């Protein structure tokens, strides 16, 4: 049959194939209801006719479900798709959503304002998974003001279920290990601690609210370990790196390593920052770990393949995505989830013999 120039309906196709509309619908949406041969025959006939399934918008009106979840990323999409941590999180989300016939709509918090576009996006999804929400972003964004299902990941939004790792405790444990080398001076390479896009040292009165920021929680963990070792860390020895990329991390590390009282330990809030810091040190003729120890956070594959390999906090990033998807879909209880982490000791900050 030639493809029809007018838009075909479910009834048109059912009449042509001499089957019920339910049979056509099942071929597209519930394949377990038909034999494999019958389903394939129907799909082949539909393709020849130019019919590619029941209208999704109409199905949404009937069921109240679109089968789409909005994944809100705190950074722009091009960065998020190349960032190893965000990438692994999305992988875990996709695995569970795909198994349950759900699709992802990737959204950037930076591009979402309370306008016609964001209202349209809100109408297209059954809810949102907000990844890495920053307190300054989109106070009137649809995921904050709608009555849809919302799960937060690597962040906290009041009244919403969250999926996180042990940020403060993990930071404390990695810092305690690093401090066992008894460095005389320390610097922290922080990530997204302030509301500025400049690489700079922090001011205490400019820090984000600890209840809303996982970076502040990590900072508190580092400070706890330093206090136990009888060390205080003035704010001028804590750097703010606005985005987790090599260029900005390298700049911050060079600034720290050119201080008059050069650090013997760099505590970094991500593995990307730690790798950049090691590269900066080596290019300045500073030996790692003999003259400088470096620790990271995340456990990305590159941290183990790099030389010297990075001592780090390994977090279950793929599992984090899976858990967030399961909570969103109601496959597990809707309550806050905190995943365990593991301290991985490597060359950049080895164990004391």
Note the pLDDT of residue 146: 63
Domains of the chain: 10-54 (1.10.260.40), 68-163 (3.40.50.2300), 167-315+340-344 (3.40.50.2300)
Question: Which residue has tokens 């990590």?
Answer: 218
Q: Please, is 158 exposed, middle or buried when counting C-beta atoms within 10 Å of its C-beta (0-12, 13-18, 19+)? A: exposed
> Is residue 2 very low, low, confident or very high in pLDDT (cuts 50, 70, 90)?
very low
pLDDT over 80 (residue 135): no
The pair of three-digit structure tokens given for residue 243, joined into one six-digit string: 């985005």
pLDDT digits (tens, 9 = 90+) for 154-187: 988 888 899 999 999 999 999 999 999 999 999 9
- DSSP state for residue 224 in the 8-state scheme: H
Note the pLDDT of residue 58: 53
> Is residue 300 very low, low, confident or very high in pLDDT (cuts 50, 70, 90)?
very high
- DSSP state for residue 258 in the 8-state scheme: T
Q: What are phi and psi of 342, to 5 degrees?
A: -135, 135
Alpha-carbon gap, residue 109 to 132, rounded angstroms: 10
Give the lowest-confidence range in 97-106, 223-232, 286-295: 97-106
- Give the pTM: 0.79
Q: Evaluate whether 289 touches 347 at the Cβ level (below 8 Å).
A: yes
191-210: string of b/e by CB count within 10 Å (b at 16+)? bbbbeeeebbbbeeeebbee
Alpha-carbon gap, residue 288 to 278, rounded angstroms: 7
Q: Please, is 324 exposed, middle or buried when counting C-beta atoms within 10 Å of its C-beta (0-12, 13-18, 19+)? A: buried
Note the pLDDT of residue 338: 96
25-36: string of b/e by CB count within 10 Å (b at 16+)? bbbbeeeeebee
Residues in the chain: 353
The mean pLDDT value of the chain amounts to: 87
Note the pLDDT of residue 88: 95
> Is residue 9 very low, low, confident or very high in pLDDT (cuts 50, 70, 90)?
confident
> Is residue 114 very low, low, confident or very high in pLDDT (cuts 50, 70, 90)?
very low
Query: Would you give the distance in Å from CA 194 to the centre of its chain?
Result: 19
pLDDT over 90 (residue 78): no
Q: Please, is 160 exposed, middle or buried when counting C-beta atoms within 10 Å of its C-beta (0-12, 13-18, 19+)? A: middle
């Amino acid at each position: 049959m030639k493809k029809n120039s007018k838009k075909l309906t479910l009834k048109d196709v059912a009449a042509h194939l001499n089957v019920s509309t339910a049979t056509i619908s099942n071929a597209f949406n519930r394949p377990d209801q038909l034999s494999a041969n019958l389903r394939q025959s129907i799909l082949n006939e539909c393709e020849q006719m130019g019919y590619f399934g029941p209208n999704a918008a109409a199905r949404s009106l009937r069921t109240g479900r679109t089968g789409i979840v909005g994944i809100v990323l705190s950074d722009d999409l091009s960065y998020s798709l190349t960032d190893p941590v965000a990438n692994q999180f999305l992988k875990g989300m996709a695995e569970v959503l795909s198994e349950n016939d759900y699709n992802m709509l990737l959204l950037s918090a930076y591009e979402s304002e309370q306008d016609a576009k964001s209202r349209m996006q809100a109408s297209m999804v059954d809810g949102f998974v907000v990844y890495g929400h920053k307190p300054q972003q989109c106070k009137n964004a649809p995921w904050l003001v709608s009555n849809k299902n919302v799960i937060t990941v690597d962040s906290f939004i009041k009244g919403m279920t969250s999926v996180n790792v042990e940020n403060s405790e993990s930071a404390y444990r990695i810092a305690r290990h690093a401090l066992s080398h008894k460095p005389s001076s320390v610097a922290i390479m922080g990530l997204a601690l302030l509301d500025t896009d400049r690489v700079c040292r922090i001011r205490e009165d400019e820090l984000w609210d600890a209840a809303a920021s996982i970076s502040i929680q990590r900072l508190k963990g580092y400070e706890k370990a330093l206090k136990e070792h009888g060390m205080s860390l003035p704010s001028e020895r804590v750097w703010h790196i606005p985005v987790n990329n090599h260029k900005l991390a390298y700049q911050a590390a060079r600034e720290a390593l050119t201080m008059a009282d050069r650090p013997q330990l760099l505590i970094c809030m991500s593995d990307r920052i730690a790798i950049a810091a090691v590269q900066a040190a080596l290019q300045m003729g500073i030996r790692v770990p003999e003259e400088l120890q470096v620790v990271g956070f995340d456990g990305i594959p590159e941290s183990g393949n790099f030389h010297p390999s990075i001592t780090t906090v390994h977090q279950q990033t793929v599992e984090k995505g899976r858990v967030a998807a399961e909570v969103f879909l109601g496959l597990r209880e809707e309550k806050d989830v905190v995943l365990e982490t593991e301290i991985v000791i490597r060359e950049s900050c080895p164990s004391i013999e």
